[in-house]
Structure 1
Amino acid sequence: MSQMLLPPASASEIATAVRRGEVTAQEVVEEHLALIARVDSGVNALTVVFAERARTTAAEVDATIAAGHEPGPLAGVPISVKENIDLTWSATTNGWRGLAGAVPARDATIVRRLREAGAVPVARGNMPDFGMRWDTDNDLFGRTCNPWNPRRSAGGSSGGDAVAVATGMSAIGLGNDFGGSLRLPAYATGVVGLRPTHGRVPRAAVQGQPVALTLQQFSVNGPMARSVDDVALALGVMQGWDADDPVSVVPPAASPDGMPRRVGVVRGLAGLAVDPEVAAGVDRAAASLSRSGWEVVDVDAPLLEDAAVLWRRLSCTDMLISLDPAALGQPLGRSATAFLRDSTAAARPYESAREYAQAWARRAAIATEWRRLLVDVPVILGPVSTSRMREPDYDLGGREAADRAWRDLWLTVVVNFLGLPALALPTGLGSDGMPTGVQLIGPMFGEEVLLDAGRAVEAGVPSLPPVPSPS
């Protein structure tokens, strides 16, 4: 196998080389399986490894090419799939013991589309129970460790897939984002995570069951990878209307050429303290954009605290109902139970239908302010978290810990609250030896301008060194 394509080669490099016959999909998969065998025991990112199925699928890709047929834009690319996205090869556990035997009858639409494009699932990525935490741990599979430093959280809830991508065990990770669950692990591990516009990428099939309103409005599926180009490649395959998802749409034709090349930098964050390393990462990204010809201006995030409070209270109100052990039939895991208790105590869930309705009504006013801003300044640059990644279980320990974890992410959760697209990407290594990073936020269906800006940031900041090998 070509040395260039040893993990962590990019998804684009792998697919191009496989399509040209420079390397086989089977060789690519074998290298990734070998890396998984060496690395995963030290990080516990992957819950199930599909060695034989991956080999069979890779052989099918190679046979397609040998027959002179088109293998797809992701030919031979190894991917990981989060534990809450249906893949018929194993149970969709949601990280919870109660679903350990829940093998789906069919693949999620995004999994099917990626497989039809030639991608090869090699494993599933770990997550906390029902994706509820900003750290990745559960009673079913245990804790996922940050490969840069095990004394720092790997983020959540798509932590397993982020670590798999960061260490080269998969080239693309499939996750989802309800309150930063793609962008926070991307920040924690130094990879790129794209939270698409609400409705652009299909989610789970509803199948006649009720779905909490916050889950309908705040959560999206999206990709993680090691470059902006790779998440763009994955988005192009994943996106589009799906009969099983009532909010999915055909994305409108859009071009970044029609938008002003202007970036608004959010620095103040409603008076929240921003760690100096975080601020330095934002400055590096802003300087990169300026050198690439973008106009960079300072802006305030409209009604930021209002939006963050509403996101939290609405989310906790719905979680108390949908994750009630009496309704589930058995309790959540230990850490998830503690998180739900602490977060709901701090958030003050709504107690009346009137309050709940008024909160949703307030969302329209906030969305209007953001829409007006994004017309003039189509890209907003700011931190994913105002702090460096904290210790494992930092989001547990009572009301104070729950408040602190949420306040770190005000700019992140407002994106979920409004259904906007956002791209998280690294900006070099901090003095603490951990990746630094930022997020770019855009208008509805403005992924093209975000990806354009992301490439400018990526080209102008220091590259990360190789991820340390787990000890």
Structure 2
Amino acid sequence: MTNSPIWQWSAVETANAIRNGEVASEQVVRAHLDRMHEANPALNAVVVDLGEAALKAAKAADEALAKSKRGGNDVGALHGVPVTIKINIDVEGQANSNGVVAFKDNIAPGDSPVTANLRKAGAVIIGLTNTPEFSLRGFTDNPLHGLTRNPWNPAITCGGSSGGAGASIAAGIGTIAHGNDIGGSLRWPAHCNGIATIKPTQGRIPAFNPSATAERPLMAQFMSSQGPLARRVADVRLGLEVMAQRDPRDPWWVPAPLKGPKREGAIKVALARIPEDMATDRGVIALQRRAADHLADAGYAVSEVEVPDLNKVWQLWCDLIMTETRILQQDQMLAAASADFKKTFHGFMALANPLDQAGYMKAIAERSRHIRNWMLFLEEYPLVLAPTTVRQTPEVNADLGGDQRVKEIFWNDLRFISSINVLGLPSAVVPVGLHEGLPVGVQIIGSRYREDMCLDAAEAIEGKVGVLSKQLWARSR
């Protein structure tokens, strides 16, 4: 084991150290709680401290490990390892507030599938992380828990909606953070905070909230994914394996293998060509091209290619998600929302084409055509290397600057992110370096249920770049 503090260990290292008796879970959990109490006041990333329950769970984990060794039984993959959960999924006995004041007493009657799977693997939940209201902004702030800051620079956003998860992991609070992604909410915070993640294929990780009083709209179900954020790609892989276990409460869960067939020869990677109408930051684009060089050095065959119908795919995502929200959720949301949320919401609605019943049905049909086009493209280029954003990370709450600013961020900067949700494809994000002192990540998109290929490529880039959080921690010494 390394000489670094316990809270800096990876999830894989931590799990192995606990399993091998090199350290007790209670000691590990105390180290992460101490780190949380040290770093979190400046960040406000963890908004519900579950330290007392976590220490009890850690003691129970140590006792269970001792018993398993006597009986010859193995323990779970994350036995005794500290993790965090985003406040928009159910943790039994805790409020699933989703960042909304009106939901502060929405106590979960049971665990969501992700929470249950983490517990079954032996993980210890040390806290719940922040999200914007209704998890429907790319900037993490709400009137219930307040603003979450980016550990690299408090003036820039930590992203959203899994901003609390991203900021906490980058700062060293927990080994794996849970998040979710309906329009970039795993990948955008990973980029902003200099960490790694995977947005899995739709149906890979089961989802359900026992506290929910109604089912989500259909396209929202198909576009949303649960997933892990971590400092190392190997930890993202481990988190995916744990979270992806079957739960019968999700009818869309698919029992697909986590590892697909090995491809012969050099894997072709399409370096996504940037549309001419996108305003870009030269330094950010240069780092993304460096990622292509890293993949080429690792034996991948990289060539710059235009991806299928990016603009139309993004618009389809926006039209479908906003139509469902407008018809089924808007009135309830706006009745409970803050003035800040309403500003951003208006900006999103201004980007969408309002669909009537026939238009909505045609848009769903059109989705199949776009997925088919991308699947055929991925037959030739099994991976796509694309930007997360094409410009520098914006300031805190930049989306409150009016409709035009919302359009700049979500149509111009993040077009490559949200498009992937409507397609249901897996996409990893891994840091590629710093530009003007701020982290920059790249996105690696794969075919359905080929998260393994996305993560393999992400690890190849990580092997060249290293773990960016170490540079963050070195700054604060």
The alignment partner of 1:467 has SS state of helix
Q: Are positions 1:212 and 2:234 aligned together?
A: no
Q: Which residue of 1 aligns with 2:330?
A: 324
Q: Distance in 1 between matches of 2:61 and 2:32?
A: 16
Gaps of 5+ in 1: none
Q: Which residue of 2 aligns with 1:425?
A: 430
Q: 1:130 aligns with which of 129, 134, 139?
A: 134
- Is this contact kept in 1: 2:334–2:342, CA < 8 A? no
Q: Distance in 2 between matches of 1:292 and 1:115?
A: 36
- Is this contact kept in 2: 1:61–1:71, CA < 8 A? no
Q: Are positions 1:398 and 2:409 aligned together?
A: no
How far off is 1:267 after superposition?
A: 2.9
Q: Which residue of 2 aligns with 1:76?
A: 80
Q: Which residue of 2 aligns with 1:224?
A: 229
Q: Which residue of 2 aligns with 1:42?
A: 42
Cα 1:463/1:55, change in 2 over 3 Å: closer
Cα 1:256/1:163, change in 2 over 3 Å: farther
How far off is 1:413 after superposition?
A: 1.1
Q: Distance in 2 between matches of 1:346 and 1:374?
A: 29
Q: Which residue of 1 aligns with 2:255?
A: 250
The alignment partner of 2:189 has SS state of helix
Q: Distance in 1 between matches of 2:49 and 2:476?
A: 19
Q: Which residue of 2 aligns with 1:198?
A: 202
Q: Distance in 1 between matches of 2:21 and 2:187?
A: 35
Q: 2:359 aligns with which of 355, 369, 374?
A: 355
Q: Distance in 2 between matches of 1:183 and 1:315?
A: 18
Q: 2:370 aligns with which of 366, 372, 382?
A: 366
Q: Are positions 1:458 and 2:440 aligned together?
A: no
- Is this contact kept in 2: 1:136–1:143, CA < 8 A? yes
- Is this contact kept in 1: 2:232–2:467, CA < 8 A? no
Q: Are positions 1:467 and 2:472 aligned together?
A: yes
Q: 1:182 aligns with which of 186, 200, 209?
A: 186
How far off is 1:2 after superposition?
A: 7.3
List aligned pairs for 1:45-444, cutoff 5 A: 45-67=45-67, 68=69, 69-205=73-209, 209-252=214-257, 254-255=259-260, 257-258=262-263, 261-269=267-275, 271-325=277-331, 327=332, 330-350=335-355, 352-407=356-411, 408-430=413-435, 432-444=436-448
Cα 1:444/1:105, change in 2 over 3 Å: same
Q: Which residue of 2 aligns with 1:448?
A: 452
- Is this contact kept in 1: 2:87–2:130, CA < 8 A? yes
Superposed CA offset, 1:64-111 (max 9, x none): 111114231112211110011111141111111111011111111111
Q: Distance in 1 between matches of 2:276 and 2:200?
A: 25
Matched letter for residue 331 of structure 1: A
TM-score w.r.t. the length of structure 2 is 0.94
Superposed CA offset, 1:291-344 (max 9, x none): 11111111111100001111112111122234334x359421232121112211
The alignment partner of 2:314 has SS state of helix
How far off is 1:213 after superposition?
A: 2.0
Q: Distance in 1 between matches of 2:128 and 2:466?
A: 31
The alignment partner of 1:79 has SS state of strand
Cα 1:71/1:358, change in 2 over 3 Å: same
Q: Distance in 2 between matches of 1:22 and 1:321?
A: 55
Cα 1:120/1:307, change in 2 over 3 Å: same
Gaps of 5+ in 2: none
Cα 1:2/1:453, change in 2 over 3 Å: closer
How far off is 1:176 after superposition?
A: 0.3
- Is this contact kept in 1: 2:111–2:209, CA < 8 A? no
Matched letter for residue 51 of structure 1: G
- Is this contact kept in 2: 1:190–1:426, CA < 8 A? yes
How far off is 1:345 after superposition?
A: 2.4
Identity %: 35
Q: Distance in 1 between matches of 2:287 and 2:126?
A: 33
Q: Distance in 2 between matches of 1:2 and 1:62?
A: 21
| TM-align CA RMSD | 1.9
- Is this contact kept in 2: 1:200–1:241, CA < 8 A? no
- Is this contact kept in 2: 1:74–1:119, CA < 8 A? yes
Moved beyond 3 Å, runs of 4+: 1-5, 205-208, 327-330, 468-471
